[in-house]
Amino acid sequence: MSQGLGRESYFWHKLHSLTGILPVGYYLVQHLTLNSFTLVSPAAFNGVIHFFEGLPKHLFLIMKYGLVWAPLIFHAVYGLFIVMRAEPNYSNKAYKWRENRMYVLQRISGVLAFLFLCWHMATTSVAATLAGNTSVIEYASWQAKLTSNGYVLFVVYLIGIIASTYHLSYGIWNFCIRWGITVSEVAQARMLKFSAAAFVALTLLGWAALAGFLIHDPKKGAESHQKIETRIESPVRAL
């Protein structure tokens, strides 16, 4: 048994690679995209939260725990196992290759992303569940947190985003090699360029979404939400 735990499994390694793209990678892209609604208005960002909270309970729970949390936890835990078995040698002058550098950065970014996501999920999704409402993850709360204590949390999120986007972007390149999608050196070089472009684009998207929390008055979000609720309730009262 102990020997089995000490070896990497071909099946689990392939599954780890796959979950890094679907659904974990996909979730990261759509999460950053939806968060960029902060650039529109507080009401637009809060509207995204209320949309998901308004889904049928069983559907929301399946999406949250089955399609996001379960694959994410597996990918993170097995990823830590891979990191512990890693033998980086980039510090050796004879091995300062580009692929070796990416190998090391992939593992560093994975650990940083893991720690960041544990804390992020605990202070958002878990906190909202325990509080019994979404106020802790709405625009006003985010703005208050990110701008307090000298913007320390804002910087933490900048680092967390770049670690996550690098891990996914390099993971795409690695995934295509591991699954036999890019076999030739030319195909691998092209995919590396795509991954680099994806890294820049996703990082800028995430940072832009983060900056969106600093440019609006959060009271407008609350007022807009109140007007929407009033419009919905008024016909009901009339009946």
Q: Domain boundaries in the chain?
A: 2-238
Confidence of residue 238 (pLDDT cuts 50, 70, 90): very low
Burial class (CB in 10 A: 0-12, 13-18, 19+), 113: buried
Instruction: Answer whether 163's CB lies under 8 Å from 112's CB.
Output: yes
Tell me the fold of 2-238: 3 helical TM bundles of succinate and fumarate reductases (1.20.1300)
Which stretch of 52-56, 62-66, 92-96 has the lowest confidence by average pLDDT? 92-96
Amino acid at 36: S
Average pLDDT of 196-221? 92
d(CA 2, CA 112): 28
pLDDT at 92: 61
Read off the tokens for 5: 């735990």
Closest CA to 28 of 206, 173, 195, 215: 206
**How many Cα neighbours within 13 Å face the side chain of 38?**
25
Tell me the C-alpha to C-alpha distance, in Å, between residue 67 and each of 16, 59, 122.
15, 11, 18
Instruction: Answer whether 221's CB lies under 8 Å from 42's CB.
Output: yes
Instruction: Answer whether 106's CB lies under 8 Å from 171's CB.
Output: yes
Cis-peptide, bond into residue 42, ω within 30° of zero: no
Sign of torsion over alpha carbons 35, 37, 41, 46? negative
Give the Cβ contact number of residue 150 at 10 Å: 8
- H/E stretch holding 175 reads helix 152-178
5-49 pLDDT tens trace: 455 688 999 999 999 999 999 999 999 999 999 999 999 999 999
The mean pLDDT of the chain is 87
69-121 pLDDT tens trace: 999 999 999 999 998 887 766 566 645 667 788 888 999 999 999 999 999 99
First to last CA, the chain: 68
d(CA 8, CA 79): 11
d(CA 75, CA 33): 22
State the residue for tokens 């089955």: 66
